[in-house]
Amino acid sequence: MGIRSWDHRLTEARLAARWFTQYRAMDASVTSTRPVDADLDSKQPSTLHVVAWIDPVVDRIGVDPRSLYVETFWLAVLGPSATWLLRRLADRFDLEPEGFDLDLDETARSLGLGASDSRHSPLQRAVDRLARYGMARRAGDALGVRRRVPPLPRRQLLRLPTALQGRHRAWEAAEPVPNEAVRLRRRARLVALDLRDLGVDDASIERHLLRRGVHPATAFEAARWVWSPEAEGDRSCVVGGA
């Protein structure tokens, strides 16, 4: 398992810093957000084409929408409906990474949001919140949605309850350095393999790793990896420390 060079890591850090600067500027400048479907008639179409929003920086440094980080910190910002919608779209992207047509009425009902027959429906408001907080954007006639969620901007972090702000500071302090990250990733995968052999599901594996102090991004990655088809092929390398 190779380790990226420090020069490459420094380049990533500069890219991340540039993205955070741009994101904070955008976040501070937004006072009102035009609904995603402002150009549509009041009658909502039955489907919405969804594609992945490609962002090289966020795709590298972000976390999965289904991770505990999003559930813990972004939930208070996005709200439950938008958070669940983002997670549902992440599941669809796993099956259809090139994009898909989202049945709006079926999606709304499956999320407990009722009918979606107008642009003021609960589902459309959830889509608008994703756009407002930078999780989605219009891409022509389609909706571009992030497959990775960026770290919470400082402006939004300061609006969280004090206890959650403290947990976020602890999360930042636990971010491993490059060499250490490789070692911790392997250790997390070893634990995940043992738990999978006992029949433990991925969500329980993630929570077990978190209780052991594993970084949230590492815990989520290990829990998803261990139940993936790639795990058996990688097992000898992980166990052997290659």
Could you say which DSSP state residue 135 is in? S
Could you tell me if residue 40 is left (phi over 0), alpha (psi between -120 and 50 degrees) or otherwise beta?
beta
pLDDT classification of 117: cutoffs 50, 70, 90: low
Residue 128 has pLDDT above 90, yes or no: yes
**Tokens at 86, concatenated:** 């983002």
Q: Please state, in angstroms and rounded to a whole number, the distance separating the CA atoms of residues 188 and 234.
A: 14
The count of other CB atoms within 10 Å of the CB of residue 37 is: 20
Q: What is the pLDDT of residue 4?
A: 45
The count of other CB atoms within 10 Å of the CB of residue 73 is: 23
Least confident segment among 61-75, 130-144, 225-239: 225-239
Q: Domain limits of the chain?
A: 34-155, 174-240
Give the largest CA-CA distance in the chain. 60
User: What's the pTM value of the predicted model, to 2 decimals?
Assistant: 0.62
Could you say which DSSP state residue 137 is in? E
Report whether 119 contacts 35 (CB < 8 A): yes
Task: State mean pLDDT over 6-10.
Answer: 45
Q: What is the pLDDT of residue 59?
A: 86
**51-90 pLDDT tens trace:** 999 998 888 888 899 888 899 999 999 999 999 999 999 9
DSSP 41-108: -SBPPSEEEEEEE--HHHHHH-B-TTSHHIIIIIHHHH-HHHHHHHHHHHHHHHH-TT-EEEEHHHHH
Q: Please state, in angstroms and rounded to a whole number, the distance separating the CA atoms of residues 70 and 149.
A: 8
Pick 31 or 44 by higher pLDDT.
44
Q: What is the pLDDT of residue 196?
A: 86
Residue 116 has pLDDT above 70, yes or no: no
pLDDT classification of 126: cutoffs 50, 70, 90: very high
**170-193 pLDDT tens trace:** 877 766 555 666 777 788 888 888
pLDDT classification of 239: cutoffs 50, 70, 90: low
How far is CA 46 from its chain centroid?
26
Residue listed under structure tokens 């890591």: 9
pLDDT classification of 38: cutoffs 50, 70, 90: very low
Task: State mean pLDDT over 8-24.
Answer: 49
